[in-house]
Amino acid sequence: QVSDTETITDGHRWPRQNSVCIIFLSLSMREWDIPYDELQIGDEIGAGRFGKVYRGYWHGDVAIKVLNMEYVNDEKTLEQFKMEVSTFRKTRHENLVLFMGACMKPPRLAIVTSLSKGNTLYTLIHLRKDKFNMNKTTIVAQQIAQGMGYLHAKGILHKDLKTKNIFLENGKVVITDFGLFSVTKLCHGNRKGDSLGIPPGWLCYLAPELVRSLHAHQAHNEDLPFGKASDVYAFGTVWYELLCGEWPFKGQPPEAIIWQVGKGMKQPLANLQASRDVKDILMLCWSFHAKDRPDFIRLLNILDKLPKKRLARSPSHPIHLSRSAES
């Protein structure tokens, strides 16, 4: 029995005043719903916190992220997944992975994006040990800041910016996994008993306000206080990795990192051979108070003003960028 003030959409009862919005959302979501059977699933590329990623085919090569359904077991979680997907479809920027659609019918939840053919910055920096010269570092950082500035202008927080989520394809940066942190959190399998599961290499991207709100008995659905400024903090860490080839607080146990970051201590930069301007970017992004961190527009301005080394050019050889760090 539906009352005069209610509408039923997707099996839910909604107050009539919200129904127009909800019907609209539900119709526009349908446009992005890919029937699972239409996907040709190929080899597994890798596994992350929220499930497995496969190479696949759907009107061309795609990456298919299949969610670990163990944790998506109620209506509320499913709605949250749909909401996250709805933010994804608003993005059109050359430095952001192309969202193509999603399978939204349980038990098969998956996100379909363009397939990145390059390597992640994580692979280039930490596994291949490629060296990025200053020009290359700046160009890569500018593209990350452009993609992130666009996301923030659209009101979307990344929440998980890290070198594992940044691809480099023929010199072009492609950022992935934005806005999916809550889904990741819902699907994570890192938790052991009552303790807080900390994936390796995750802590050094967390701003002090996030680190200070972590606690051992964190509830699955408890939100961390993410904001635009916490994305900027993570960008600072990516800038450090590009410059140094390693993570800040390298080799230190999680408790030591949590304690230092929570107290406002930073990775010392004495051994980093870089100009004042370059180090200032780190200090700004890693500011203890979120309000002191620059936004991506200001960062782009700062990056643009960094002195550019002139590249050796002979009449017979056009400008040549070191390809050592290119994929």
Residues with a catalytic annotation lie at 160
Residues 47-86 within binding reach of ligand ATP (CB under 6 A)? 47-49, 53, 63
Q: Which of the ranges 46-54, 130-138, 261-269, 309-317 carries the binding residues for ligand ATP, by CB under 6 A?
A: 46-54
Q: Assess contact for 299 and 148: CB atoms under 8 A.
A: no
Q: Which of the ranges 80-88, 109-117, 247-255, 258-266 carries the binding residues for ligand ATP, by CB under 6 A?
A: 109-117
Q: Which two tokens stand for residue 2?
A: 């539906």
Residue recorded with tokens 């939840």: 109
Give least dist CB 61 to ligand ATP, A: 9
| Burial zone of 45 (CB within 10 Å; 0-12 exposed, 13-18 middle, 19+ buried) | middle
Peptide bond into 268 cis (omega under 30): no
Judged by beta carbon, residue 126 or residue 298, the one nearer ligand ATP is 126
Judged by beta carbon, residue 77 or residue 165, the one nearer ligand ATP is 165
Q: Which of 290, 182, 179, 170 is nearest to 236 (CA)?
A: 290
Report if residue 176 touches ligand ATP, rule: CB under 6 A.
yes
Report if residue 121 touches ligand ATP, rule: CB under 6 A.
no
Report if residue 164 touches ligand ATP, rule: CB under 6 A.
yes
In the list 19, 68, 95, 116, the residue contacting ligand ATP (rule: CB under 6 A) is: 116
Report if residue 241 touches ligand ATP, rule: CB under 6 A.
no
In the list 68, 77, 137, 165, the residue contacting ligand ATP (rule: CB under 6 A) is: 165
Report if residue 293 touches ligand ATP, rule: CB under 6 A.
no
**Closest chain position to ligand ATP (CB):** 48
Site string for ligand ATP, 177-216 (x = CB under 6 A): x---------------------x-----------------
Judged by beta carbon, residue 120 or residue 287, the one nearer ligand ATP is 120
Report if residue 158 touches ligand ATP, rule: CB under 6 A.
no
In the list 113, 137, 237, 287, the residue contacting ligand ATP (rule: CB under 6 A) is: 113
Binding-site ranges for ligand ATP (CB under 6 A): 45-49, 53, 63, 97, 113, 115-116, 120, 164-165, 176-177, 199
